Amino acid sequence: MSYSVTAPSSRTKLLSGLLVSLYALVTLAPLLWIIATGFKSGQDSIHYPPKVLFEPTMEGYVNLFTTRTRIPSDAQPRDPESLSWYEQIVNDKGEMIAGPSKYGERFLNSTVIGFGSTALCMLLGTMAAYAFSRFKVPLKEDLLFFILSTRMMPPIAVAIPIFLMFKNLGLNDTYFGMIMLYTAVNLSLSVWLLKGFMDEIPVEYEEAALIDGYTRFEAFIKVVLPQAITGIASTAIFCLIFAWNEYAFAVLLTSGDAQTAPPFIPTIIGVSGKDWPAVAAGATLFLVPVMVFTVLLRKHLLRGITFGAVRK
């Protein structure tokens, strides 16, 4: 046979492999550039032509976590021996550390709000998904569609009344408000995904448990939950990533106490203008956890991004 769709020739394979590798290289270049820029000095980052090889420095990371001022010209020069490694980096540029930056706080806010909303979302989502999967719920199809349709609204459109509501309730710029909001946003995803995972668990297991004298609730906790644990874990990672990445609500509803990292990172500036290494360092710390999670999640990725509509 000279050709076949089901068993491609080794030449076809090689050519496809090369083309896909080329695409991967192009598509990963911006991400590698972010990581590399984080380790560049200010001058190297804006060098022409762009520098692929450079001497790595922690300058960007130090700048990310600190605020700095220029050392006044009449100040006593400080003894380099007495400075810690990060103070030296700043000192070499004629600046001194004025205090910590807000990045740590913003990162912590993202973590608290991300994990908080994910936990709540999983609790509510698992219960609702189990009910939708196993029981006759009146208007089931309508309720499920209603849950999905909440995703179609542009966030900005919902943000107007939520802004007013949160203002009246004093929830603007609070952890509680953001956790409730992100939980509501992610519920549609978690209910749909978890229902799919639970539909795949044979009902026979529970029936056996019920015959053995378990109540429905016990059967849910002791039989269904352990079976669904991989599904629950991957759904949780999806909810976490969405909450982690969310920008529109965060920028409108938070400004200080509960501001997350996505609205904050673009506002990072240095002593004189935009400090790209610091921005890149902040972005790297923020994006790398998601990259790791994506690799862990690869088997369930398709399911997650299509709300369970496509299962491999």
Partner 1 sequence: MLRLFVDKIAQKTPVGVSKHVQGLSDKKLAWLFVSPTIILLLAINIFPLIWTIYLSFTDYRVNRPNRDVKWVDLRNYERILTDSDIWQTMQATAHFLVSTLVLQVLLGFTLAFLINKKFKGNDLLTTLIVLPMMLSPAVVGNFWTFLYQPQIGLFNYVISFLSGVDPSSFSMIGDVHLAPWAIVIVDTWMWTPFVMLICLAGLRSIPDSIYEAAECDRASQWRQFWTITIPMVLPFLMLAVLFRGIENFKMFDLVVQLTGGGPGSLTTLSSIDLKREAFEKWKTGYSSAYAVILFVTVFGLASIYVKALNKVKDR
Told to check if 50 binds partner 1 by CB under 8 A, we report yes
DSSP state of 269: -
| In the block, residue with structure tokens 């002791």 | 222
List the one residue from 56, 78, 98, 160 that touches partner 1 (CB under 8 A). Answer: 160
Told to check if 53 binds partner 1 by CB under 8 A, we report no
Q: Which of residues 92-121 bind partner 1 (CB under 8 A)?
A: none
Q: Which of residues 271-290 bind partner 1 (CB under 8 A)?
A: 276, 279-280, 283, 286-287, 290
Told to check if 199 binds partner 1 by CB under 8 A, we report no
**Which stretch in 19-27, 62-70, 88-96, 200-208 sits in contact with partner 1 by CB under 8 A?**
19-27
* Residues whose CB falls within 8 Å of the CB of residue 107, separated by 6 or more in sequence, listed in order: 261, 285, 286
List the one residue from 69, 100, 104, 215 that touches partner 1 (CB under 8 A). Answer: 215
Told to check if 70 binds partner 1 by CB under 8 A, we report no
For residue 66, report the phi and psi dihedrals to the nearest 5 degrees: -130, 160
DSSP state of 248: H
* Size (the chain), residues: 312
**Which stretch in 41-49, 76-84, 92-100, 199-207 sits in contact with partner 1 by CB under 8 A?**
41-49
Contact between residue 237 and residue 148 where contact means Cβ atoms under 8 Å apart? no
Told to check if 31 binds partner 1 by CB under 8 A, we report yes
Q: How far apart are the first and last CA of the chain?
A: 30
Least distance between partner 1 and beta carbon 129 (Å) = 9
* 3-state percent helix, strand, coil for the chain, nearest multiple of 5: 70, 5, 25
Tell me whether residue 104 or residue 266 sits nearer to partner 1 (CB atom): 266
Whole-angstrom distance, CA of residue 120 vs CA of residue 184: 10
